[in-house]
Structure formats: structure tokens, C-alpha cells
Structure 1
Amino acid sequence: MTHEHHRREHAKELRAKLRPYLPYFIIAALVLWGVLDLLLFHDRVDPSLQAIEDSGTLVIATVPGPTTYYEGREGPTGYEYELTKALANDLGVEAEYRLFSSVPDVLLALKEGRAHIAAAGLTVTPAREALYAFSPSYQSVKEIVVCRRGGPRLKKLTDLADTELVVPAGTSYAERLAELREKSLAEKAEFITWRESNETTEALFAQIADDEIGCTVADTPIFKVNRRLYPELRAALDLTPQREIAWAYAKEAVVLGAYLEEWFAKKKKAGLIERLDHRFFDYFPEFDYVDISRFRRDIEEKLPDYRGDLEDAADRYGLPWHLLAAISYQESRWNPSARSPTGVRGFMMLTLATAEEVGVEDRLDPEESIEGGAKYFAELIDRIPEDVKGTDRYWFALAAYNMGMGHLYDARLLAERRGLNKSSWTDLREVLPLLMDPKYYKSLRHGYARGREAQRYVSQVRSYLHILEGVI
């Protein structure tokens, strides 16, 4: 009997033994396939507008970050979050956010059908337009080279050939650098070299500040938001002219695209884009390297002595302690002995009348001053009309803290007269300087006020708040 014959006989016996179990193998295979299908495909979405409306859910892919989506004091917030949330509200559906670690991952999720919209501060590029459709643009930005103060002095693009440059992998920055390198090679000029990293732009900023890498590339709004966290950063060179930022969606979702065209036109006309621009990017005062550097130093050297009192007082009056710390820094630079020629003094720079009102006996006692300032600010918030919502209540109260509640009411009336939203800080701040103009203040109950000073005051406190929330 040959070896081949033995092999066939053995195979026959094995099949006979396994035959009774065949149905179980089939069932097991089907179950395994079902599990794989659930794991790999359960999060797929139909990209059409009709499917979004039928399902009651708009799925948005984004990356967490200060210019996109992050957890704020009252829950999720961020430019992309607020804008996409407005879209979902107008569609009458819920917004579901799927967070990814990088822009390439966001675009991959869209390509694989795991999101209806990619909203992550996406630059519209030819390479991306070949794969995705884009909404109307809602921002114009420049891509700039960001380096450390005292780092390389860049005057032209060819200077980048001698610069250590690190950019996030798979981004429009890398695309642009590749274009520039091809151009350099064609012209037989010095070509740019760079390294791609899996780190985010914000992480690369930190490495530049710590002098671990040379430079990176970023959009102007991202740089503007982060330079207060890292005052060592500077804009060294423009890499591109203005480029458009938009949402990406599937090319086959034609009806969704038409809806977005109309929706953005309406929202721009209604002022939503302008309000979001101010809320997230434009409220900062002019960047002051010396002031921001001193503030960062004071956070390390002065704040620890008062943090406990600030946290305790904030907790008692339902305030964010970071906000109370920002107010006190703007008032006294965390100096409990601070005095002003106008008579205000102490850590929170209380007037004598305010101190008596809130029960502060010694304005130069930092614990008493913090307690009194927190109580007074909480009372101001309570006096803000109920039609003012969310964090705008803080900004209204800050303006009142600076110029008085009566002048704040006057500003609301003036905003209403000019056809603006008296309940929106973005609109109210526009009219504050008019409180200094007799053409306007003569018709107001409380008359003249230093409205421009109040405008700057709120911006400065918000700037300090932004830094505190970023570093603590």
C-alpha cells in the first residue's frame, strides 16, 4: 500500500469524524463574521442628507484642540463644535462627535464612511479636493513658519533649507512643503527638508518653546491662540498666501452639499461666523511678550500663595477659580498691597464702598479681598438679565465690574437701538466705545463711561483666563 493511499484513507477518516460537527463550524464562522462586521462596519454612515434626517444624527469627525473641540467649563465647546452644533440644530438632529488624534485620521474616517462631515480646521488643497467635496469656506488663514524667539531669522522660503523643520504628518503643511521642494528641484535651487511627526501642532509648539526642535508650520489662528501659552513662539515667515478653511464631506452627497451652500450663506448673513470668530480668536488684546512672559512667571512664583483662597472663594460663590484668578491678576498683579490714586486697593482692588457692601474690613488682607471680590462678582452675575446666556454672562459681569452696572444697561439699550443683539457679548462690545461719544451718551440714563477701557479690560481678563486654563 502506497504512502499516497495511506494519506487519502486518513483524510477520509478525518472527514467522517468531523462531518457531525460541520454545522457547528458553519455557525461559528457566521458568528465570527458577524462580530467582525459589527466591529469593522457598525459605525458606517450613509452620507446623504436624507439619511441624516431619517437617522436623527449628524456624525462629525474632528480632532480635539483649542481651535476645534475641547471640554470647557460647561461641557464641549470649540469653534468647530459650535459651528457644527448650529448645523445639527437647524437640521433638527443630534450631533455625534467622533474624535481622532490627527487630521489624516479624520479624513480617513470620512473616506471610509464613518462620518458625514469632517470639521477639523481643514485647509482646502488640490490633493484633498480630488478625494472629497468641500463646504463653502468659513475662514481664510495663512500657513506660517513658527520658530522660537531668538531662533533662525527667515527672510525668504529658501532660508528654510538650513532650518530644522518638523510638521504634523499628513497635513496640508506637509503638502505645501512637498510642493515647494518640487519647485526647488525644478529650478535647481536649494531644496527644503523637513521631518513629519505624529505629534499635534500644539505638541510641536511646546517642543519649540523648550528648544527641542527648530520650527514648525501652523495656521494663523492656531498660532494666535497658542502664543499666549508659549510666549517664546514667533511667526518667522509666511509659507502660503491666504488659504480657505472648510468642512469636507463625501462627493456623492450632492444634496447635502447644496444644503451647506445655502446654510453658510444664511449664517454668514446672520453674523454667526463673525460671532464665533470673535468668541474664539479675536477677543485677545494686542500680544505683549513682556506682559505675557511676566504673567507666566507670576503663575509659578506668586499664584501658589493665593491659589487655595481663590479656589475656596470661587467654590463658595459658584465661580470658576481660573476666572477669579484672572480678574485679580488684571486688578493687582496678585499684589495684596496694591493701591491706586483713585482709592481702590488690595488684591481685588476694591473701592471703599464695595468693600463695605460685601463686608470686607481690611482691603489689604488678601483672604478678605478675595472673598469680597468673589462675592461682589457673583452678585453682578446674578444681576445680568436672564436673556444673556452661557459664558457671555461672565463677560457682561466683567464689563460691569469695570465700569458699573448702570453703564452696562445703557450699552444694552444702545446695542438694541443700533439693531444689534443686546444679549450677545460680541455685539455689546462693539457699542462700548460709543459710551464715550456725546452723540450717544447724552441720550443714555447714566451718561458718559470709559467704554473702550471696559472693552480692553474684558479682553485682557479673557487672555489671562485662556493662559491659566492652558497651563494649570
Structure 2
Amino acid sequence: MNKFLYTSFAIFFALSFFVFGWLSHSAYMPGKRIEKPSLLDKIKKEKKLNVVLLNAPSTYYIGSEGPQGFEYDLLHSYAKHLGVELSITPAHTVKEALELSKNPNIHITSASLAKTPSREKLYHFGPSYFEVQEQVICNRGMLGSSKFPRDVEDLEGLSIMVGDDTSYSETLQKLKEDGFDINFTTSSDYSTEELLEMVGKHQIDCTVADSNIYALNLKFFPEIALAFSISGREQLA
């Protein structure tokens, strides 16, 4: 009798679990997958595109007719295309622009940045739009003297300053590690344009700038001169 009851209970519980499982499976309706809104969705919802722009002639500046600059024009057109407001946070140097880009409320940082391997590990770059070369720019008064550099080996003994956290400092540091005797300093206080002005006033012998920045500033600082290119072609993004 006990054996019969035990067997009956075992069958009852087995059938109960089977029926419960079948009913649970039948009653389950897969819900709609909730997708996390994209950054673009967020921008459209808030109706604002928050950008960091480097304050420089090649990027963004306030001219006689208001905000101007190639990268400003690109972002202004993009914001207009999205139907949102363009909110600008200006940066004085590349280092400051990169620091400001860490703010989670910033959507885009535009600072005429060259795509370098080290930067691509840290930042998501947009499409490339221009090719440049890094160039050594020195005081024009040094032309015709043995002090004016014609290649990397001639940089020995010259006073050279570049911006901190720039591709220029990376290039010079790599050359130094390769054995070239280059005495250079970095500064987080001066923009590339201000360093070009210092070269023109011969407060320093040389600096490094992208070819487009040199071309734009030559008319403002006629006492600067191109010595040589120090890098291959690089993509701006």
C-alpha cells in the first residue's frame, strides 16, 4: 500500500511539473527588445549638439561677421542638417580641447587633430577630410646662416617649443628616442599660432606646425620660414 501511494505521488508530481512547465512556456510571450537610444537619438531629442572647438584660424574664430573657420562651418552645417542648436565650448590649446572632450555631455571635439596611432587608441575619429605634413618652422632671420636647419640632425642646439599633448611633441619625442639630439620643451599655455608668433619674434628658434596652419599664419607672421617637413602625410579628422 505504501509502495502504491509513493508511486502515485511520484507520478502526480511529475505530471504537475510537466503541466506547469508546458503552461509556463505557452503563456510566455517574448517582449519587445528595449534598445538603448543612440547618441544621435539623444542629440535630436535634446535639440542640441555640444561641441568643443579649438580657437584657431584653421578651426574656429570670431571674425567681423561672427563665428568663422573651416571646422566651425562643417559643424554648423551638420547641426542645421539635424535641426538642432550648435552649442560651442571654445578651447585655447589642443591639450585643453582633449581635456574638455572627456566631459560626457560633449558630443564632438573638433581641433584640427591629426590621426596618430596613440590618439586612435583613446578617441573615436570621424572621417578624414584633409592631408597635412608636420613642418619645422624657424625664424626667417636664421636663413643664410649655418644655424638654419635643413634636416633633423641640424636641430641640435636650437631652442624648440611645441604644444603639450600634440602630435608634434609625439614626433619629436620619437626622434629623440631614435637617437637624435633634440632639445625641445612643451607648453600647455601656448597655442600653435602663439608659438609661431614667438618664432617670428625670435623668442624661440623653431616650432613644429601642420602645413595648413603654417600656410594660414605666414601672412600674419612674415618673419617665420619653413625649414623642412618632419613627418609623412597625416590625416586630419
Is 1:194 the counterpart of 2:169 in the alignment? no
Which residue does the alignment assign to 2:58?
67
Is 1:100 the counterpart of 2:91 in the alignment? yes
Seq. identity, %? 36
2:196 alignment partner, SS class = helix
1:177 aligns with one of 153, 172, 179: 172
**Structure-to-structure mapping, 1:63-462, within 5 angstroms:** 63-151=54-142, 152-184=147-179, 190-197=180-187, 198-246=189-237
1:111 alignment partner, SS class = coil
Residue 191 of structure 1 deviates from its aligned partner by 2.5
Which residue does the alignment assign to 1:366?
none
In angstroms, what is the RMSD of aligned CA positions? 1.5
Residue 47 of structure 1 deviates from its aligned partner by 7.8
Which protein has greater RCO, CA pairs closer than 8 Å, 6+ apart?
Answer: 2
2:226 alignment partner, SS class = strand
Runs of 4+ in 1 over 6 A off after TM superposition: none
2:47 aligns with one of 51, 56, 61: 56
Map Cα deviations across residues 8-29 of structure 1 (whole Å, 9 max, x no partner): xxxxxxxxxxxxxxxxxxxxxx
Map Cα deviations across residues 318-372 of structure 1 (whole Å, 9 max, x no partner): xxxxxxxxxxxxxxxxxxxxxxxxxxxxxxxxxxxxxxxxxxxxxxxxxxxxxxx
Q: Per residue, is there more strand in 1 or in 2?
A: 2
**Distance verdict in 2 for CA 1:202–1:211, change over 3 Å:** same
2:101 alignment partner, SS class = helix
Residue 158 of structure 1 deviates from its aligned partner by 2.0
Q: What stretches of structure 1 of length at least 5 have no aligned partner? A: 1-45, 185-189, 247-472
Residue 161 of structure 1 deviates from its aligned partner by 2.2
Q: Per residue, is there more helix in 1 or in 2?
A: 1
Q: Which amino acid aligns with 1:240?
A: S
Structure 1 CA distance for aligned equivalents of residues 69 and 161 of structure 2: 26
Structure 1 CA distance for aligned equivalents of residues 113 and 38 of structure 2: 19
Q: Which amino acid aligns with 2:183?
A: T
**Distance verdict in 2 for CA 1:67–1:47, change over 3 Å:** farther
Structure 1 CA distance for aligned equivalents of residues 199 and 148 of structure 2: 15
Structure 2 CA distance for aligned equivalents of residues 114 and 237 of structure 1: 40
Residue 74 of structure 1 deviates from its aligned partner by 1.7
1:71 alignment partner, SS class = strand
Map Cα deviations across residues 421-446 of structure 1 (whole Å, 9 max, x no partner): xxxxxxxxxxxxxxxxxxxxxxxxxx
Structure 1 CA distance for aligned equivalents of residues 171 and 41 of structure 2: 36
Map Cα deviations across residues 47-102 of structure 1 (whole Å, 9 max, x no partner): 81111111111111012111111112221111111011111111221111101221
The answer to whether the 8 Å contact 2:94/2:191 transfers is no
Aligned length: 196
Residue 162 of structure 1 deviates from its aligned partner by 2.4
Structure 1 CA distance for aligned equivalents of residues 81 and 183 of structure 2: 46
